[in-house]
Amino acid sequence: MNKKQPNMNVGAAGLFLVFSLLFFILIYRFLSIQITGEADGQVLAAKAQQKYSNETVIEAVRGTIFDRNDEVIAEDASAYTLVAILDEDMTTNPKEPKHVVDPEKTAMVLAKYINMDESEILQRLSKDGAFQVEFGVAGRDISHQIKSEIEKEKLPGIIFTKGSKRFYPNGVFSSHLIGFVEKKENEDGRSETSGKLGIEQSYNKLLTGKNGSLKVESDLWGFLLPDAEKKVTPAENGDNLYLTIDKKIQTFLEDAMNRVDEEYEPEKIIAIVADPKTGDILAMGQRPTFHPQTREGIENSWHNEIIETTIEPGSTMKTFTLAAAVEENVFNPNETFQSGSYRVTPKSVPIRDHNYGRGWGEISYLEGIQRSSNVAVAKLVNEKMGVDTFRNYLTEFGFDKTTGIELPNEVTGKIQYEWPIEKVTTSFGQGTTMTPLQLVQATTAIANNGKMMKPRIIDKIVDSTTGKVIEQSEPKVAGTPISPETAKKVREILETTVTNEDHGTGGNYRIEGYNVAGKTGTAQIPGDDGKYLTGRENFLFSFLGMAPTENPELIVYVAVQQPKLDESTNGSVPVSMIFNPVMKSSLQYLNIQPASQGKVTSDEIPDVKGKGIDESVKQLQESGLNPVVVGNGDKIVSQLPEAGVNTLEGERILLRTSGNEIKVPDMTDWSFRDVMKFAKLAELKLNKAGNGFVTKQSIKPGTIVSGGEYLIVELSTPLQQTEAKESEKKSDDNKETANEPSESDSEAENNETEEVVYD
């Protein structure tokens, strides 16, 4: 008995120590939680609140992207996600089932509305143990119309959750500049959108905004508590962006590129329209391109070729070589030189003119520019101004740094200026590279009287909730490489490259009514082996032009790479098919008065609002104008153009009367600008095909229309109309005779397709 007592004492002491330790741990844990309010690094109050509260995300609306005239380019629109409930427990009344009762029938019906095979839909509807299923990409971003049609089928268990999608109402519309939005799911199952490419990417944070939330307390089983407090954190919608892009001019550009892309199937098209006085980019496009809604075509080109890819500019570079020579006072238009070929050093390979180095004998430097002579600019740099001076001008014109435009991934070219031959070949655009946007920026100095303007694409940023302007962009001078006098003289010289019928290489770029100054380019394309490609199609054909010459309002740069040409067509043809209609239509749309058509009325357009029809028509006709009455009333309520605007003699003035009925006039031979006036007065939605003047209209003359209807007009230029008539007359002629190249075509071919430096 005495032996057991010590053992019992030891056991009791051990138990006492164990329970004491547990007690102290418990006390410590309790006090720690009381003092800090945390357990395992988590705030207990927050965890409790989370357990007994329901939280709903309030999604922020992505900001809208507008053009310069408040036209929508990209916006968020309502969209729906298709969901199928599979859990039978959701049905409490067998007569009104809330789950999918007949998977086979449901799959067959849904396959008519979504882009998914019936078998795959059935497979998803047959998942065992699933509460609900979705249908991936095919079941997302469903429009309200498709949703309504599916709901009419009355399929049990099929429901929709409301959301939003990014909508691009203009379709293919400067797609690489605008970009697109991609939606992905996070780890918590919530979707998140992010911009890809262009504006959508570079301004993603600003456009996205910040989601809000709605929190409501509930009990342990998830039921809302009576008088539960609601905590609402409002969503902060994304800001709106207003671009410098003009929807009308961009549409002109897209239409022209589509035509050339279809007819000549080039490897690449690049085009820019800019305002030289502000640096505003009014239009920007390329081919290949893609549809931002469907991403169709995105695999062909992920790059914005205008800022992310460099090119050898070819003879368009002679624009800036000429400007430097004029500024340095070393360009004498009447001085002569021996054309054909020229060696920079005794051992260097000869620089040859583009007619296989034959040249044109001894010609003046002015004729050398008009003929796009490589020898002329080589001698100007190497013998007149000096290569070091010319190098300084390359910097002054901004060719060794990016422009700083508000777009992602902008690169700069490389000025090859190490060897003597490179310093001279740069003068005519070979070896040295640059981006098309750098070329356009440099051209603003020529067009804007010496002031080089930084390109800009953002006009302003606006708070989408308050409408307050957050940031207003202003035009910025990027440099003054030349004087106003030099700029004017260079424009006058470059105009002769277009107008001179004997020597000019830019004859295809004449535009009726407007004086155009510019420079052609036929740049060689380096191959994978480092050597230039050969063959009459393997060039980057381009034109860098401005108009009107005396006071340029627009710069248009167009480049077409490796178009498929027949033997009678030279490389300037597809380029001019873009440049000419875009420049002319844009100038007309901007109401830039032609230099040789009509005369400006000495008086402003009279204000005839409120007056009778007869009185208004008579007053306008006496002013040399062409009034067109729209409506059946007896008083004029509005007019376009507005009163007080100076215009051309014979200009159509659209007059809307007080009556409710609006009859469509016969618009044959109307300009698109006049059609836009009518569409605006009649509140019609306008679409067009082609460029030039109206040949067909979708609504017959005399038809009464109401606001919101669509009007589609087909346009063609006078040249196209003439060609169509001639084609009809010659439809039975021999095909070989019809396709025989003319003498002028052969001459143009010599001028344009052989502009090569032979190393």
DSSP structure class, residue 228: P
Tell me the mean pLDDT in the region 454-480. Answer: 96
**Phi, psi (degrees; rounded to nearest 5) at 502:** -85, -40
Question: Which tokens in the block code for residue 653?
Answer: 């003035």
- We find that the CATH architecture of domain 613-721 is 2-Layer Sandwich (3.30)
Q: Which of 595, 600, 631 is nearest to 515 (CA)?
A: 595
Calculate the average pLDDT of the chain. Answer: 85
When mean pLDDT is compared across 12-21, 186-195, 506-515, 632-641, the lowest value belongs to 186-195
Q: Which of 164, 174, 175, 315 is catalytic?
A: 315
- Contact call for residues 648 and 593 (beta carbons, < 8 A): yes
Residue with the larger pLDDT of the pair 624 and 390? 390
**How sure is the predictor about 465, in pLDDT bands with cuts at 50, 70 and 90?**
very high
pLDDT, one tens digit per residue, over 140-157 is 888 888 999 999 999 999
**How sure is the predictor about 729, in pLDDT bands with cuts at 50, 70 and 90?**
low
Round to whole Å and give the CA distance between 745 and 569.
7
Round to whole Å and give the CA distance between 61 and 208.
7
**How sure is the predictor about 25, in pLDDT bands with cuts at 50, 70 and 90?**
confident
**How sure is the predictor about 554, in pLDDT bands with cuts at 50, 70 and 90?**
very high
Round to whole Å and give the CA distance between 640 and 617.
14
498: pLDDT strictly greater than 90: yes
Residue with the larger pLDDT of the pair 489 and 230? 489
**How sure is the predictor about 539, in pLDDT bands with cuts at 50, 70 and 90?**
very high
Query: CATH 3.30.930.10: does it fit domain 55-243?
Result: no
pLDDT, one tens digit per residue, over 555-598 is 999 999 999 998 888 999 999 999 999 999 999 999 888 875 44
User: What's 373-426 look like in SS3?
Assistant: CHHHHHHHHHHHHCHHHHHHHHHHCCCCCCCCCCCCCCCCCCCCCCCHHHHHHH
Instruction: Give pLDDT, residue 715.
Output: 78
Round to whole Å and give the CA distance between 339 and 311.
27
Domains 55-243 and 613-721 share a fold: no
Residue with the larger pLDDT of the pair 692 and 556? 556
Buried b (16+ CB within 10 A) or exposed e, 167-191: bbebebbbbbbbbbbeeeeeeeeee
User: Beta strands 652-657 and 42-43: pairing type?
Assistant: unpaired
Buried b (16+ CB within 10 A) or exposed e, 719-731: ebeeeeeeeeeee
Question: Which tokens in the block code for residue 145?
Answer: 């119309």
Q: Where are the alpha helices (DSSP H) in 544-671?
A: 572-589, 613-622
- Contact call for residues 427 and 362 (beta carbons, < 8 A): no
pTM summary value = 0.70
- β partners of residue 519: 544
User: Which range has the top average pLDDT, 203-217, 472-486, 717-731?
Assistant: 472-486
740: pLDDT strictly greater than 60: no
Instruction: Give pLDDT, residue 412.
Output: 96
Helix axes 118-125, 103-110, angle to 10 degrees: 140
33: pLDDT strictly greater than 70: no
pLDDT, one tens digit per residue, over 107-128 is 999 999 999 999 999 999 998 8
Instruction: Give pLDDT, residue 569.
Output: 86
User: Cα separations (Å) of 495 from 140, 212, 498, 514, 530?
Assistant: 55, 59, 5, 11, 36
Instruction: Give pLDDT, residue 654.
Output: 87
Tell me the mean pLDDT in the region 170-195. Answer: 83
DSSP string covering 200-225, please? HHHTHHHHH-B-EEEEEEB-TTSPBP
750: pLDDT strictly greater than 50: no
Instruction: Give pLDDT, residue 240.
Output: 97
- Homologous superfamily (CATH) for 247-589: DD-peptidase/beta-lactamase superfamily (3.40.710.10)
pLDDT, one tens digit per residue, over 340-399 is 999 999 999 999 999 999 999 999 999 999 999 999 999 999 999 999 999 999 999 999
Instruction: Give pLDDT, residue 743.
Output: 31
Q: Which residue has the tokens 């009007």?
A: 711
3-state secondary structure of 721: helix
Question: Which tokens in the block code for residue 611?
Answer: 């007056």
User: What's 433-462 look like in SS3?
Assistant: CECHHHHHHHHHHHHCCCCEECCECEEEEE
Round to whole Å and give the CA distance between 590 and 588.
5
Instruction: Give pLDDT, residue 735.
Output: 40
Report the largest interatomic distance among the alpha carbons of the chain, rounded to a whole angstrom.
140
Q: Where are the alpha helices (DSSP H) in 612-753?
A: 613-622, 672-682, 718-729, 735-738, 743-752
Query: Is 568 in the active site?
Result: no
Q: Element (H or E) spanning 107, and its range? A: helix 103-110
- Contact call for residues 461 and 470 (beta carbons, < 8 A): yes
Round to whole Å and give the CA distance between 198 and 176.
6
Provide the residue type at 35 as one letter.
Answer: I
Tell me the mean pLDDT in the region 42-61. Answer: 57
Residue with the larger pLDDT of the pair 692 and 138? 138
Question: Which tokens in the block code for residue 176?
Answer: 């690489």
Question: Which tokens in the block code for residue 363?
Answer: 């010609």
51: pLDDT strictly greater than 60: no
Residue with the larger pLDDT of the pair 243 and 229? 243
Domain boundaries, the chain: 55-243, 247-589, 613-721
User: Which range has the top average pLDDT, 74-83, 248-257, 587-596, 729-738?
Assistant: 248-257
User: Beta strands 517-524 and 362-364: pairing type?
Assistant: unpaired
Instruction: Give pLDDT, residue 449.
Output: 97
